[in-house]
Amino acid sequence: MASLLLLDWAHPAPGALRPGAVLAQASQALVLVSPWKPLVLLAVFGAWAWVVSTVYDKHAARFRLARERWNLIHLIVGLVALVVAVGIPWEHPAAFFVGLAAALVILGIDLYAYAHVANKDERVPESQRIRLDALTKVSNARAERSKSRGKIEPKLRLIAPDKSVLPPPTADTPEAEVRLAAESVYLRAMASRASSVEIRPTGKDQSYAPVFIVDGLQTPGDPLAAQSALAIIDLWKLGAKLDVADRRRKLQGTLDVEHAGAKHRVRITSVGVAGGMRLTMLIDPDGQVRREPAKLGLTDEQFKELRAIVDDPKRGVVLLTTPPDGGRTTLTYSVVQMHDAYTQRVEVLEVDQQLAIEGVRHTPFDPLAEGADFGTTARSLLRRDPDVLAVAELPDANTAKEVAKADTDRTRVYVCFRAGSALEALDSWIKAVGDPKQAARNLRGVVNGRLLRKLCTNCRVEYTPSPEMVQKLGVTDPKASTKLFKKGGQVLIKNKPEVCPVCGGVGFIGQEGIFEVYAIGDEERALVESGNLSAIKAALRKKPLPTLQAAGVAKLLQGVTSLEEFTRVTSPTPAPGAAAPSSPAPQAPPPAKGASATSRR
């Protein structure tokens, strides 16, 4: 495009558009008057054309940002700038400079406009944004470097809660090595979009390994010798101002990590475990569990049903359940936020507070405290008659019994625990309470959900499934779209396949929930009372609300996820440790000392 533009300027075709004719005359005049002026213009337009035809064009292709339209815009803007630059009809010697300045402004606006629009597009990750200020940054960085001679150049700034910055160690010292190793763990987490990292003993030869959790799946990193792993753990603890000497008790703190102009909050948890220590780094902990209820992934009818359950004036008990790592904390916080914390007294009883919700009272429960009993704590909270109480964990049957027998006419109680389906949740609840009548008495609703990884829309691949598959998915509407998508991981840039820059070649980016949401009315309550599971199942199926399976198929047909991911997530045992339908208590053992922060999300 650059050459086309310049050709047009140098040799205007006969019968060109009016601006072209003006341009031709003007440029000829210019060439006759002074030979250096065209060279200045050539340099300016050449530099601009290089940026839009290589840097911008490739950027637009990579992120599918209406590349053709942008090229047309650049072409038109370039022509306008050229007309302005050489078309000023004055005879005055300053005319050239006025025209040049105007052209520079126009080309500058063009460069800025693309960068502005592209940087706002959600498909463009932070690291791939266009930085027009890059030039000024280079000189700043150079100045900084000369200042810190003799020290290593850390890539990260570790900022403690008191705003103090952890100073970089001197180059060529063991501390410098530790610092670089600690940084590389964080940088790898950032590069792979991990939500958290754990550094823990592998259980073999006293070695450690970092484990990166990306969209709910674990990827182990390279093994570390115990000594260096512990030094890395200490460095992160130091950054969060935690007691480095305490390698046994569970310690928790936060720090801000700044890298390449982006700042992330990191929650550090360290605890002594068998074979050494474990460090959990939770990146942007608030963002991970904060989600607007409407964006959980519920269908419209499910959202209406949930709203009706939340607003039910009869209060009572509602079960919020997911398999392990199924997004239970996010679900709990989202549902709690559907209550108005300014007009209602809303409380949450939880072991680890993950998020501070404005107006909501969080009661932390320390399982290690002397005489600590979850059921007793729940009972004493219930006696104070809050409008809403969320019991964010259900560690034992005793708690279930306390909640079931409490007077909940004035209190809505959300009980959150592990279950693989709404039916399994009801079954577990009945068994934990130990008496179907008691379990049914206050029951108002049950929600079950789990998380699907979302396909990267930048590289997903469309295909037509076989008629058998369509039938298997239960699509009966002949007009329904039967296009499905599978993960890609690559994009074509100028006909050459390249790793997708949005998802880093994984093919998935982010997660979304699929759910079952059922209000429990008189009819269902009577069935729960009878303890007849197959009758309950039949009654739930009769409701005009999607099952987990149907909710998943809807997401498939919308192209949100792939068939493989849907199958992985909805297969009977979605993750190890899921409560079996026949398990006697709704929850696995009480949260162990320093239970992994990732296991409850």
Q: Do residues 418 and 588 lie in contact, with contact meaning Cβ atoms separated by under 8 Å?
A: yes
Q: Which residues, numbered 306-335, are part of the site for Zn ion (CB under 5 A)?
A: none
Instruction: Give the nearer residue to Zn ion in terms of CB position, either 107 or 456.
Output: 456
Angle, vertex CA 98, rays to CA 95 and CA 102, nearest 5? 140
Both tokens of 526, joined, read 């009577």
Burial class (CB in 10 A: 0-12, 13-18, 19+), 504: middle
Q: For residues 235 and 99, give the distance between their C-alpha atoms in angstroms, rounded to a whole number.
A: 58
> In whole angstroms, how close is the CB of 459 to Zn ion at the nearest point?
3
Give Cβ neighbours of residue 134 (< 8 Å, ≥ 6 apart). none
Instruction: Give the nearer residue to Zn ion in terms of CB position, either 60 or 459.
Output: 459
Q: Is 214 in the site for Zn ion (CB under 5 A)?
A: no
Instruction: Give the nearer residue to Zn ion in terms of CB position, either 452 or 456.
Output: 456
Binding residue for Zn ion, selected from 230, 503, 553, 569, defined by CB under 5 A: 503
Contacts made by residues 351-354, CB under 8 angstroms, sequence distance 24+: 351/392, 351/393, 351/591, 351/595, 352/595, 352/597, 352/600, 354/285, 354/286, 354/288, 354/289, 354/329, 354/600, 354/601
Instruction: Give the nearer residue to Zn ion in terms of CB position, either 456 or 551.
Output: 456
> In whole angstroms, how close is the CB of 505 to Zn ion at the nearest point?
7
User: With CB under 5 A as the contact rule, which of the stretches 185-193, 291-299, 319-327, 492-500 interacts with Zn ion?
Assistant: 492-500
Question: What are the φ and ψ backbone dihedral angles of 49, each rounded to 5 degrees?
Answer: -65, -35
Q: For residues 304 and 299, give the distance between their C-alpha atoms in angstroms, rounded to a whole number.
A: 9
Element (H, E) at 440: helix 436-441
Instruction: Give the nearer residue to Zn ion in terms of CB position, either 500 or 540.
Output: 500
> In whole angstroms, how close is the CB of 148 to Zn ion at the nearest point?
38
533: Cα within 13 Å, side-chain hemisphere = 13
User: With CB under 5 A as the contact rule, which of the stretches 238-246, 415-423, 500-508, 584-592 interacts with Zn ion?
Assistant: 500-508
CA-to-CA dists, residue 591 to 341, 365, 529, angstroms: 28, 10, 30
> In whole angstroms, how close is the CB of 197 to Zn ion at the nearest point?
22
> In whole angstroms, how close is the CB of 455 to Zn ion at the nearest point?
8
Both tokens of 559, joined, read 């192209």
Instruction: Give the nearer residue to Zn ion in terms of CB position, either 392 or 456.
Output: 456
Element (H, E) at 530: helix 522-530
Q: Is 502 in the site for Zn ion (CB under 5 A)?
A: yes
DSSP assignment of 5-33: HHHHHHSPPTT--HHHHHHHHHHHHHHHH
Both tokens of 570, joined, read 């909805």
DSSP letter at 171 equals: T
> In whole angstroms, how close is the CB of 126 to Zn ion at the nearest point?
16
Give Cβ neighbours of residue 15 (< 8 Å, ≥ 6 apart). none
> In whole angstroms, how close is the CB of 584 to Zn ion at the nearest point?
44
Instruction: Give the nearer residue to Zn ion in terms of CB position, either 427 or 565.
Output: 565
> In whole angstroms, how close is the CB of 574 to Zn ion at the nearest point?
24
Instruction: Give the nearer residue to Zn ion in terms of CB position, either 122 or 292.
Output: 122
User: With CB under 5 A as the contact rule, which of the stretches 49-57, 119-127, 196-204, 458-466 interacts with Zn ion?
Assistant: 458-466
User: With CB under 5 A as the contact rule, which of the stretches 8-16, 180-188, 319-327, 452-460 interacts with Zn ion?
Assistant: 452-460
Both tokens of 301, joined, read 């009818």
Instruction: Assign 493 to helix, strand or coil.
Output: strand
- Closest by CA to 309, choosing from 297, 300, 318, is 318
Binding residue for Zn ion, selected from 26, 224, 413, 456, defined by CB under 5 A: 456
Q: Do residues 529 and 459 lie in contact, with contact meaning Cβ atoms separated by under 8 Å?
A: no
User: With CB under 5 A as the contact rule, which of the stretches 11-19, 243-251, 386-394, 495-503 interacts with Zn ion?
Assistant: 495-503
Binding mask 403-442 for Zn ion (x = CB under 5 A): ----------------------------------------
Please report, as a single letter, which amino acid is at residue 73.
I
Binding residue for Zn ion, selected from 459, 484, 514, 578, defined by CB under 5 A: 459
Instruction: Give the nearer residue to Zn ion in terms of CB position, either 125 or 293.
Output: 125
> In whole angstroms, how close is the CB of 562 to Zn ion at the nearest point?
12
Q: Do residues 558 and 567 lie in contact, with contact meaning Cβ atoms separated by under 8 Å?
A: no
- Tokens 């599978």, located at residue: 486
> In whole angstroms, how close is the CB of 215 to Zn ion at the nearest point?
13
Q: Is 124 in the site for Zn ion (CB under 5 A)?
A: no
Binding mask 333-352 for Zn ion (x = CB under 5 A): --------------------
112: Cα within 13 Å, side-chain hemisphere = 7
Instruction: Give the nearer residue to Zn ion in terms of CB position, either 194 or 230.
Output: 194
Residues that bind Zn ion (rule: CB under 5 A) add up to a total of 6
Question: What are the φ and ψ backbone dihedral angles of 561, each rounded to 5 degrees?
Answer: -140, 175
Binding residue for Zn ion, selected from 423, 500, 545, 585, defined by CB under 5 A: 500
Q: Is 458 in the site for Zn ion (CB under 5 A)?
A: yes
> In whole angstroms, how close is the CB of 59 to Zn ion at the nearest point?
15
Instruction: Give the nearer residue to Zn ion in terms of CB position, either 422 or 500.
Output: 500
> In whole angstroms, how close is the CB of 55 to Zn ion at the nearest point?
21
Q: For residues 467 and 550, give the distance between their C-alpha atoms in angstroms, rounded to a whole number.
A: 18
- Closest by CA to 350, choosing from 391, 399, 404, 380, is 391
> In whole angstroms, how close is the CB of 564 to Zn ion at the nearest point?
15
> In whole angstroms, how close is the CB of 501 to Zn ion at the nearest point?
8
Instruction: Give the nearer residue to Zn ion in terms of CB position, either 509 or 556.
Output: 509
Rg (CA), the chain: 31
Note the residue count of the chain. 601
Both tokens of 287, joined, read 């963002």
> In whole angstroms, how close is the CB of 506 to Zn ion at the nearest point?
7
Instruction: Give the nearer residue to Zn ion in terms of CB position, either 189 or 500.
Output: 500
Binding mask 48-87 for Zn ion (x = CB under 5 A): ----------------------------------------
User: With CB under 5 A as the contact rule, which of the stretches 203-211, 387-395, 419-427, 503-511 interacts with Zn ion?
Assistant: 503-511
Residues forming the site for Zn ion (CB under 5 A): 456, 458-459, 500, 502-503
